[in-house]
Chain A
Amino acid sequence: MATKASKSAARLMMAPAVTLLLGWMLVPLTMTLYFSFADYRPLRATFEPWIGFDNYVRFTSSSSFWDAVTTTLVMVGSILAITVVLGILLALLLDKPIFGQGIVRILIISPFFVMPTVSALVWKNMMMDPVNGVFSHVSRFLGATPHDFLTQTPLFSIILIVSWQWLPFATLILLTAIQSLDGEQLEAAEMDGAPPLKRFWHIILPHLARAITIVILIQTIFLLAIFAEIFVTTQGSFGTRTLTYLVFQRVLESQNVGLGSAGGIIAVILANIIALFLMRAVGKNLDA
């Protein structure tokens, strides 16, 4: 029961965790904010604590900024579309009683256990390599010219890799949602004359709305921060430079901490705008 005493006891006991978490998040964020207004280039021993919005202007006015924003949106959008659509189909399939269901489910989930760096390396060297990759062997076997994925279609290749990684997550969430659907509803719809496709459209899909919302929100947060997959494969070349990667390049490659920090803050703001937009668009599914 929430008495006065237990409430204050609860506050007291939560205090250490809250303090730690606040410090954990606030300190780096404040430092980033501070650096973003400074001309800070450690290798050149330059430190000017206040240069106003110069860093922000420089970061946004470079042509690579808008390219990076576009690339990020295309990448995140495509991965979301692929994982949600394929996730629904896979979940529908896995919901059916099949032989060896338990093993199949574990296998389907397994890509999620592979570290991003490792999976990107495996895809790059074993699957997509134009000489030794599985795909090139297959196309040579069929008499076609091997496709050099990472050079000819780099953005698509990265989308493919990351979708493969995130498909299990979407499938898992959507599968549990499908399993929670009352079977009598489907039978009622069948009696009401709805053929399978209409049952999917009118009964299953609305039932999945909330799960799809959750998948989209959670994945967006993580997908905006894709890094390892790009670093390992294209290093941001051929139009695969996302905002995250651009910030990384500014800080480490040009050794300009101030400029990178400004980019970081812009990325945070953009991520919040997207999150706000998503919450508005799909968040209503989370009520009721």
Chain B
Amino acid sequence: MGHIKLNQITKSFGDVEVIPPLDLTIENGEFAVFVGPSGCGKSTLLRLIAGLEDVSSGHIEIDGRDVTDVPPAKRGLAMVFQSYALYPHMSVRKNIAFPLHMAGMDQAEQQRRVERAASVLNLTDYLDRRPGQLSGGQRQRVAIGRAIVREPAAFLFDEPLSNLDAALRHGMRMEIGELHQSLSTTMIYVTHDQVEAMTMADKIVVLRAGVIEQVGSPLDLYREPRNLFVAGFIGSPTMNLIEGDEARKHGAHTIGIRPEHIVPGDPDGAPWSGTVGLSEHLGSDTFLHVHGTGLTESITVRADGEVPLRHGDRVGLTPNAERIHRFDQAGLRIA
């Protein structure tokens, strides 16, 4: 179980309202990702759900039970912190068993659960080590182990991968995804990295300044961003946003076109054309930054990995007309 419902919750620190009234429902078994730029209130929101911060007003329900005034330990949630927050003086075994020990579970059952968690997370050989003797990825797994032995209603992850290097981050992303598949427990995951959000989430919640900008599946957000902020935040490289005459031609204040929906070609006869500036060769793809199109300062185009264009070449650009996003004066999507 793990159905979480936020009902008109707000949070203020002194006079500063960090989260204006907010509603959100996370279904049982869902992998929800809170994503947004730093300072958007996503961590605060997670801490409100965990109970580490008190809400200023509103109600939080878990599985239909009002837990607004319930202390963190009694909410049946487990959290994985950014710094892992392992207890440095305890062995890995004791770290993982700590919540069970606190719950007063009998030794044999504790032992059984720790062994099982350790085998799931490949930690069996490290159970008697101290956290200080482990690598970053192993510490991360211990922190996850400490969360799963409690068999919580939901897992909360607070930017758990930001302390790892790129290769390890990719590996852990897969492991957490696998874990979600095998446990099918609700997970709420906070990150500022839209790639993590896109790859892991069932449901992405995009936040800005404490306000939910859009909620939806990764592809919903990719295909139909509700406003300019979501359009610019989701997708890599970011969407090209064009204002002025070109946008008016489409009956909008701003139009957006993703780099992968523009086809580079012969300058003659193409609707747009410009000069290739920097091109980033990634092997599989090449990102061309095209200048002098008269639309915006620079248009990013995703081309084939072995495209024969160089710095200074003239290039024609053909946008896929069906993939042009239109936004009005206020930045909202025009359907």
Which A positions have Cβ atoms within 8 angstroms of B? Answer: 182, 184-185, 187-194, 198, 202-203, 206-207, 209, 288
Contacts and interface: CB of A to CB of B under 8 A. Distances in A.
B146 A192 contact: yes
B83 interface: yes
Given A185-B86, A288-B130, 15 more contacts: A182-B85, A185-B87, A187-B52, A187-B72, A187-B81, A188-B79, A191-B52, A191-B72, A191-B78, A193-B73, A194-B73, A194-B102, A206-B89, A206-B90, A209-B89
B99 interface: yes
B323 to A, nearest CB: 43
B161 to A, nearest CB: 16
Given A184-B85, A185-B85, A191 B79 contact: yes
Nearest to B152: A191
Nearest to B104: A193
A191 B49 CA distance: 12
B229 to A, nearest CB: 30
Given A193-B99, A194-B102, A202-B98, A188 B85 contact: yes
Interface residues of B, number: 26
Interface of B: 50, 52, 71-74, 77-79, 81-83, 85-90, 98-99, 102-103, 130, 132, 146, 150
A185 B85 CA distance: 5
A288 to B, nearest CB: 7
Closest 7 CB pairs between A and B? A193-B73, A188-B85, A192-B99, A184-B85, A206-B89, A193-B102, A184-B81
A198 B87 contact: no
A192 B98 contact: yes
Contacts of A189: 87, 98
B73 A192 contact: yes
A193 B146 CA distance: 12
B169 to A, nearest CB: 20
A182 B85 CA distance: 8
Contacts of A187: 52, 72, 79, 81, 85
